[in-house]
Amino acid sequence: MEQIEFTYPANRKVNKKAHVGVVGSGDLEVLLEPGEGEVARVFIRTSVDGFRDTWKAVLDRFFAKYDGAVRIEINDAGATPGIVHLRLEQAVEVSER
Amino acid sequence: MSSKRYSADFINRQSFIELDARERAKALFDEGTSRELVGPFDRVESPWLPTQGVTPQEDDGCVVMKGKIAGQAAVVVALEGAFQGGSIGEVSGAKMTAALDLACAHNEKGVRTSAVILLETGGVRLQEANLGLAAIAELMASILALRKRAPVICLTAGTVGCFGGMSLAAGLASYVVMTREARLGMNGPEVIEQENGIEEFDSSDRALIWAIHGGEQRYALGLADALVDDDAPQVVDAIRHFTSKGVPAVHRSSQVELYRSRLATLDTSQQWDPRAFRELWAKNGIREGKR
């Protein structure tokens, strides 16, 4: 298991929490909650080691559009980049519902 | 029923099996009455999985909710079969036991509170072996304490099914509800094949597995009280029926003489097949087992 952290600039306050997904094979769990300051922090625990660059590419793309000041925690069981992106978008959708 | 009609029913069906543990638990309550206890944001995760290189889940694969079913107080505990095979660890076991004890405490105060346990599990989590075994023992003690006061209903919808020590917990429940897709048994097919050889059980033979462990056979043998389709409204109706029915006059696990006599009269010199076994027990007054 590998732990990875990223920080992105953010300027919009988020008020609601969201929890989506399951730590099942090929899937992941995302916990999104309001963060502190003008920053978004992402904490990842993944069962597959050695994919830091891929995680960075997926999150760079996600945060190119998303500007919420959040704390995101990800527990991953080998999800593909596409699934990760979908789960992140789903978490945002739930938090803004 | 014509095939055209059947496919329309099938397509319009709201699958229960396709729901995750949280959605399943929520679906059983009267609308707007449920709330989750010790949810993912409370971050009570397994302390043992990360030390063994396994990613934990924030609710440890166990969802606990409290609310009302058919207007009466109830707790629901749902295991997430997709996380570590729904296995029971220290945390998920403690959550289940605490939920049942909470229901017990409410009953003692005079508020009738039933419990529904949604079991999708292979049993003890191997990474937390002894703690998981202890958790199942505690859970069984809690079921025995609660079932005197209010019904404890076990729902195994599938597709993981309920195996290992947790099948014993299912055996203690006041009522067992299954779908055809679900399986219930102590030793799973692969375990039997590993221990006794492929002549005893071919674990790649899916038809054989469902003929023995499947919901239809379990219901026909009187080991389950209701067989429902994979349809959320049907599942909810069955649960509401049993929570309203109250405590059974005799629990299945108390019918020691009935099962002892059935086993004593069983001719083990021949190999029984599932259908013949079903017919034999039907002749031996299976309906007594239905209570």
| Cα-based distances in Å from A35 to A15, A89, B155 | 9, 17, 39
Mean pLDDT along residues B170-192: 96
Q: pLDDT tens, B222-250?
A: 999 999 999 999 999 999 999 999 999 99
Structural domain span for residue A22: 2-95
B39, B40, B55 member nearest A1 (Cβ): B55
Rounded to the nearest angstrom, the gap between the alpha carbon of residue A87 and the centroid of all alpha carbons in its chain is 8
Q: Is the pLDDT of residue A27 over 60?
A: yes
Closest-approach residue (CA) in chain B for A17 = B41
**Which chain A residues are Cβ-neighbours of B50 within 8 angstroms?**
1, 45
Question: Any idea which of A21-25, B9-13, B179-183 has the lowest mean pLDDT?
Answer: B9-13
Closest-approach residue (CA) in chain A for B62 = A22
Q: Is the pLDDT of residue B56 over 60?
A: yes
Predicted local distance difference test score (pLDDT) of residue B281: 83
Predicted local distance difference test score (pLDDT) of residue B287: 54
Predicted local distance difference test score (pLDDT) of residue B285: 62
The confidence band for B274, taking pLDDT boundaries of 50, 70 and 90, is very high
Predicted local distance difference test score (pLDDT) of residue B128: 96
Predicted local distance difference test score (pLDDT) of residue B12: 85
Q: Identify the helix (H) or strand (E) that includes residue B65.
A: strand B62-69
**Which chain A residues are Cβ-neighbours of B40 within 8 angstroms?**
19, 29, 31
Q: At A7, phi and psi to the nearest 5?
A: -130, 135
Pair B272, B200: CB distance under 8 Å: no
Q: Is the pLDDT of residue B6 over 80?
A: no
Q: Is the pLDDT of residue A3 over 90?
A: yes
Mean pLDDT along residues B178-188: 96
SS3 A22: coil
Question: Any idea which of B7-11, B23-27, B45-49, B199-203 has the lowest mean pLDDT?
Answer: B7-11
How far is the alpha carbon of B289 from chain A, nearest alpha carbon, in Å?
37
A27, A31, A75 member nearest B41 (Cβ): A31
List the alpha helices (DSSP H) in chain A.
52-65, 81-95
How far is the alpha carbon of B30 from chain A, nearest alpha carbon, in Å?
22
Closest-approach residue (CA) in chain B for A3 = B55
Closest-approach residue (CA) in chain B for A77 = B55
Residues 6+ apart with CB under 8 A from B23: none
Pair B22, B40: CB distance under 8 Å: no
Q: Is the pLDDT of residue B289 over 90?
A: no
Enter the ipTM: 0.94
- DSSP assignment, residue B83? S
Q: Is the pLDDT of residue B145 over 80?
A: yes
B21, B56, B82 member nearest A75 (Cβ): B56
Instruction: Answer whether A17 sits within 8 Å of B41, measured CB to CB.
Output: yes
B interface test, pick of A2, A16, A22, A47 with most B CB neighbours within 10 Å: A22
Q: Is the pLDDT of residue B28 over 70?
A: yes
Mean pLDDT along residues B26-42: 98
Predicted local distance difference test score (pLDDT) of residue B32: 97
**Which chain A residues are Cβ-neighbours of B20 within 8 angstroms?**
22
Residues in chain B: 291
* Token pair of B199 as six digits: 């002549």
Closest-approach residue (CA) in chain A for B41 = A31
**Which chain A residues are Cβ-neighbours of B84 within 8 angstroms?**
23
Q: pLDDT tens, B76-118?
A: 999 999 999 999 999 999 999 999 999 999 999 999 999 999 9
Mean pLDDT along residues A47-56: 97
Count of domains observed in chain A: 1
Q: Is the pLDDT of residue B217 over 90?
A: yes
Backbone dihedral region for residue B284 (phi beyond 0: left; psi -120 to 50: alpha; all else: beta)? alpha
Instruction: Answer whether A24 sits within 8 Å of B83, measured CB to CB.
Output: yes
A1, A17, A27 member nearest B54 (Cβ): A1
Counted across chains A and B, CB pairs separated by less than 8 A come out at 48
CATH code assigned at A87: 3.30.230
Mean predicted lDDT score pLDDT of chain B? 93
The confidence band for B261, taking pLDDT boundaries of 50, 70 and 90, is confident
Instruction: Answer whether A46 sits within 8 Å of B82, measured CB to CB.
Output: no
Question: Which residue segments constitute the domains of chain B, with CATH numbers given?
Answer: 14-254 (3.90.226.10)
N-term to C-term CA, chain A:
33
Compute, in degrees rounded to 10, the torsion defined by CA atoms B109, B114, B117, B118: -140
N-term to C-term CA, chain B:
31
Q: Transcribe B66-112 into DSSP letters.
A: EEEETTEEEEEEEE-TTSGGG-B-HHHHHHHHHHHHHHHHHHHTT--
